[in-house]
Chain A
Amino acid sequence: MKHYQAIVIGGGSAGLSAAVTLKKNGIEDIVVLEKDCEPGGILEQCIHNGFGLQTFKEQLSGPAYAERYVKMAQELNVEIKLNTMVTELHKDRTVRYVSSAEGDVTISADAVILAVGCYERARGAINITGTRPAGIYTAGQAQRYLNIEGYMVGKKVFILGSGDIGLIMARRMTLEGAKVYGVAEIMPYSNGLPRNIRQCLEDFDIPLYLSHTVTKTFGKDRLEKIELMQVDEKMNPIPGTEQYFDVDTLLLSVGLIPENHLAEDAGIIMDPAIRGPKVDDTYMTSAEGIFACGNGLHVHDLVDFVSLQAARAAEGAAKYLKEHKDRGRAVAVKPGENVGYTVPTCVHPQDACANVEFFFRVRKPMDEAVLEIRSGDQVLRTMKKRKLMPSEMERAVLTAKEIASLKEEVIIAVKEAA
């Protein structure tokens, strides 16, 4: 069995960043396993601008952003196996993959970084009734058909869900000559980035129906009509609010889910709040030497943060490979009031060698609020926050010194200003 210092599963934005960072940290003997025929992952179909503002201080398209990392990886001689699908991961860090070139192969490593990305929630996971004809796609699927394969999926479009891919596709399909009749969002607020609402809907006069959902589809062969209804505060459709749109296409942008079957099958402990593995401050999962990052850990709204987090996971893996030491007791980090989750979910005070940044999301929009980080009776941090949205990931840092002195679990909470 071939053995590596580190295996990176996934050659998208997270995997490439992780691989580059491993090399920069002196971990030379690594391999990236990528299922697709080229590196870059989902960025390859995101041909719109807006990537890289944080990382490169400029606006890039998805493929251009990916290209920067591909170049860095090439310069550092990162081995990337393409057309290679990982089929199994085990806690002992053996990885099984299949490819046309090599067949069914098992390899092992001292460290594994999961950079596996996410998938789109499908129709069956939400309650749309009616027929199941052609003409219903996830937003990402329609994006692939249009941007990679060169085909429009339809001309009269409705979009369910105000996730960013749906908003981007509303603009993209409008520019390509389709009529987008509207975007429905079951929540009373949008789930996409505010800039996408502005640039993709408002600039094109596409109506956004908040507190509305698509309840039924019609048509035997191809979609012919959808039923839109308003929902109450419990998200139940309100009888009498039915509206109908004669459309041939329904795009679903109703959520992204970390692609977690490898980690789950390996018996790695998962965090139901993110549907990805639980990780510590070095992004190590419950399985020693196995790390997770990017959208395969929790869904990000900006690729820049995916790259950033993947680099941190790679630094964590490099540290683990070099030190291999017991990091002492773990102190849990938990979401408090109005916070849905935190990543990471624990820190190690006895090995607090660096500041730790926490990623979290609020549960509801808040105009004015106070972020509070506390441990037991002690309040470590309070910070005024404005315009908090569930669709925008928040970040907060604890210093190495603060972490070193932690005794009790850490709570990250956001209190709404009265």
Chain B
Amino acid sequence: MYDVVIIGAGITGTVLARDLSAYHLKIAVVEKENDIADGATMANSAIVHTGYDPKPGTMKAKMNVLGARLYPKLCEDLSLHVKTVGAFIAACGEEEEKHLDILAQRADEREIPYRFLSGDEARKEEENLSDGVTKVLDFYTTTVIYPWEAANACMEVAMKNGADLYLNSEVTGIEKNEYGYIIHTVKDDLITRTVVNAAGVCADRIAAMIMGDPGFEIQARRGEYYVLDQDAQPVKHIIFPVPSPVKGKGVLAVPTVYGNTLIGPNSDFIDDPLDNGTSFDGLAYVRQNISKTLKNIPLNRSIRTFAGVRPTCSKHDFIIEEAEGFPGFINAAGIESPGLASAPGISRYIIDELLSKRLILKEDPEAVLTREAPVVLSELSTEERNEMIRKNPAYGKIVCRCEQISEGEIIDCIHRVCGARSVKGVKKRVRPGMGRCQGGFCEPLVVNILARELGISPLEVVLDSEASRILESENRK
């Protein structure tokens, strides 16, 4: 019997699992996909927003500010990649400049540092800022992270502290009994004292399984992006338009941790929450709207387009509360942007304010909440690299030429706790296929390494989901 079952292994669920693993608790995370971080955490802008944007008095504002403050420690504890790039909110004309003042006032109230720049001053720092930009509000402490790495590191720590992860385990029903809840999945049934529903775009359906009418609805809102090649770096800062109440934060340019640039997203409500396909109109919208704040964006250097689906709540705020009449059943629903930035805050809030009322939280002195980072050969000095290659020659065999990733690093990511089980799982953890050739050269090699290390046939190797086989049949020799 579990003390806590977390439904959903996105950033919310994994950070919570890690934080909870500090206590004497039996924890499980159930996930419908074949890997963690496969929903909204898979495809987003990768920004730790400082918390200036959400309206005062909202849960979003509270969680964002708290979460952003907890990130530096989280990144340090887990040895995460993080880059302070700063965020320019670029206003075009007097109307928009007024909105900057509102944001600055919120930032003052939330003790978030900022500075104002004139359009010309900003263009000196950011040469591709469009000529129509008249004033910029710079939140210079804003960082970008690598969301998959964060979720993966959290899950790894939680599992090392004893948490269980159930992949490919879509929840089919939830029952209340005298001890707590029975979670039925397509595979196992789990009995638990408490439940945290962190199911992203499916959170309303999960809540409805026990509550009937949960009183909120999740609407899937798709955002599409271009990814630009590392050698085309049009911006140094994150560039935002002035946010609009209708279209959210607007179309941004984001310099990522690894030097690629994201251009997007649009914002379209869609019927199927699991449809993360891109669309002609969506990408056209991104192309048109980026030109409001930026010029000379080299979209011809795009190496990939993708779409993510954000869970937007009908109540226009995060819902983080115990379900009325269901003690120990906690909803963490509607976690759209700034969900990534808020995750550590949401986790703390759920533990300190909600679960603490239902469980005895006794710290486990044996628990280790830090993580040693995996070896990244390209980040080592020559001496260190040579030492590693001497000990393990697989570190000297470069598999991904674009990102210079060795076979040793790929093998490591398969055998680590919460390791990769698919080509995409390897890509999310150590990045082969993220570069300009998009796996053209390395994918067949990664397939072979996965097959060998997992002891399966290459025919059984999947791209992502259990049914996404890459090879169809053996060919007669």
Contact = CB atoms under 8 A, between A and B. Distances in A.
B401 A85 contact: yes
A98 B276 contact: no
Interface in B55-76: none
9 contacts: A103-B386, A106-B382, A122-B436, A129-B279, A141-B439, A151-B473, A154-B472, A221-B467, A222-B468
Interface residues of B, number: 62
B475 A150 contact: yes
Given A129-B280, A150-B475, A150-B477, A87 B404 contact: yes
A186 B439 CA distance: 24
Interface stretch (B311-319, B364-372, B457-465): B457-465
A83 B440 CA distance: 18
Interface stretch (B122-130, B199-207, B298-306, B321-329): B298-306
Contacts of B280: 127, 129, 215-216, 237
Contact of B444 (A123, A132, A144, A152): A144
Interface residues of A, number: 54
Interface in A209-243: 215-218, 220-222, 237
A85 B300 CA distance: 28
A134 B468 contact: yes
Contacts of A119: 436-437, 440-441
Interface string B369-395: 000000001100010011001100111
B31 to A, nearest CB: 16
Interface in B214-237: 226-227, 231
Given A129-B283, A141-B443, 19 more contacts: A85-B404, A98-B377, A98-B385, A98-B398, A100-B395, A101-B396, A102-B396, A106-B382, A124-B226, A124-B304, A129-B282, A131-B276, A134-B470, A141-B440, A150-B477, A151-B472, A152-B474, A221-B464, A221-B465
Contacts of A106: 382
Interface string B14-54: 00000000000000000000000000000000000000000
A134 B437 CA distance: 17
Interface of B: 226-227, 231, 274-280, 282-283, 300, 302-306, 377-378, 382, 385-386, 389-390, 393-398, 401-402, 404, 406, 436-441, 443-444, 447-448, 458-459, 462-475, 477
B459 to A, nearest CB: 7
A104 B386 contact: yes
Interface in A90-107: 98-104, 106
A217 B277 CA distance: 8
Interface string A133-158: 11000101100111011111111000
Given A151-B471, A153-B472, A264-B231, A35 B398 contact: yes
A3 interface: no
B382 A152 contact: no
A35 B468 contact: no
Contacts of A152: 471-475
Contacts of A104: 382, 385-386, 389, 396
A248 B469 CA distance: 11
A124 B440 contact: no
A133 B440 contact: no
B397 A124 contact: no
B438 A123 contact: yes
Nearest to B406: A98
Scoring A123, A140, A145 by chain B CB atoms within 10 A of each residue's CB, the highest score goes to A145
B231 A221 contact: no
A141 B475 contact: no
Given A85-B398, A124-B227, A134-B463, A153 B471 contact: yes
Nearest to A106: B382
Nearest to A83: B397
Given A131-B276, A151-B458, A100 B440 contact: no
A141 B444 contact: yes
A418 interface: no
Contacts of A133: 463, 468
B440 A122 contact: yes
Interface string A374-395: 0000000000000000000000
B203 to A, nearest CB: 20
A154 to B, nearest CB: 5
Nearest to B463: A134
B464 A134 contact: yes
Interface string A237-273: 1000000000011000000010101001000000000
Contacts of A127: 280, 283, 305
Contacts of B226: 124
Interface string A185-216: 00000000000000000000000000000011
B440 A138 contact: yes
A221 B468 contact: yes
A155 B448 CA distance: 21
Nearest to B300: A125
Nearest to A236: B280
3 closest residue pairs by CB, A with B: A124-B304, A100-B396, A122-B438
Contacts of A237: 280
B472 A100 contact: no
B475 A140 contact: no
Contacts of B438: 122-124
Contacts of B277: 129-132, 216-218
Given A122-B303, A124-B438, A146 B475 contact: yes
Scoring B396, B438, B462 by chain A CB atoms within 10 A of each residue's CB, the highest score goes to B396
Interface in A298-343: none
Nearest to B394: A100
A75 interface: no
